[in-house]
Amino acid sequence: MNNNREADESELIRRSRMGDKDAFGQLVCIYMKRAYFSALGLVSSHEAALDLSQEAFVRAYRAIGKLDPERKFYTWLYQILRNLCFNYIRDRARHARPFSELDEQKMQQIADASQDASSRVETDELHQQLRRAINLLSPLEREVIVLKDLQELSYKEIAEVLGCPVGTVMSRLYNARKALRNSMKEYMNDRN
């Protein structure tokens, strides 16, 4: 199943390299949500995430001739995307917005129907606190949290995407979670 998917992807890349826009369109459709949510995790704004993820695809199409056929498309795309996101973060540092788009609307959509109102309020508060804590992380730490906990990639996949050893991924993740734990320590102790 996985092999079929990889074969399909290789075929789409091959056709895209020959200028087949329909094939590239299929790659876009496969990875658009993942790219959007990766960007959203880093830049915290719906409009910026949409704009940056679309720009990443445009640049990817322009440079697809340079894509190593052995490499996974998303791993390669993600490097273009993160570069755009970090540039955006750097440019907008003074006007940084909080981790606001990871917000209440979806929280309510997915909230367990059986959960009573008071525990839902507590969960909401916990998530708000966490959002604030994530917002205080450095972009590199925030990125590793997004890739591990929101995108659910393995250490090996994260290392591949970031182009660094697995040990670096683990230490970066440790520092990020330690910072989150310290920011939320008091709050979580109250809840436990």
Q: Which is nearer to another protein, 14 or 71 (CB)?
A: 71
Among 18, 19, 154, 190, binds another protein (CB under 8 A): 154
H-helix segments, the chain: 2-17, 21-43, 46-63, 73-91, 104-110, 117-135, 139-145, 155-162, 166-191
Q: Give the length of the chain.
A: 192
Whole-angstrom distance between the N-terminal and C-terminal Cα of the chain?
Answer: 42
What binding mask, one character per residue, do residues 12-51 give for another protein by CB under 8 A, x or -?
---------x---x--xx--xx--xx--x-----x---x-
Q: Which is nearer to another protein, 95 or 152 (CB)?
A: 152
Binding of another protein at residue 87 (CB under 8 A)?
yes
C-alpha–C-alpha distance, residues 106 and 102, integer Å: 8
- All residues at 6 or more sequence positions from 57 whose CB lies less than 8 Å from its CB, including other chains: 28, 32, 35, 77
In one-letter notation, the amino acid at residue 136 is L
Binding of another protein at residue 9 (CB under 8 A)?
no
Number of residues that bind another protein (CB under 8 A): 60
Supply 136's token pair: 């205080």
Query: Which residues of the chain form contacts with another protein (CB under 8 A)?
Result: 21, 25, 28-29, 32-33, 36-37, 40, 46, 50, 54-55, 57-59, 61-63, 79-80, 82-83, 86-87, 90, 101-103, 105-107, 109-110, 123, 126-127, 130-131, 134, 145, 148-150, 152, 154-155, 163, 167, 170-171, 173-174, 177, 180-181, 184-185, 188, 192
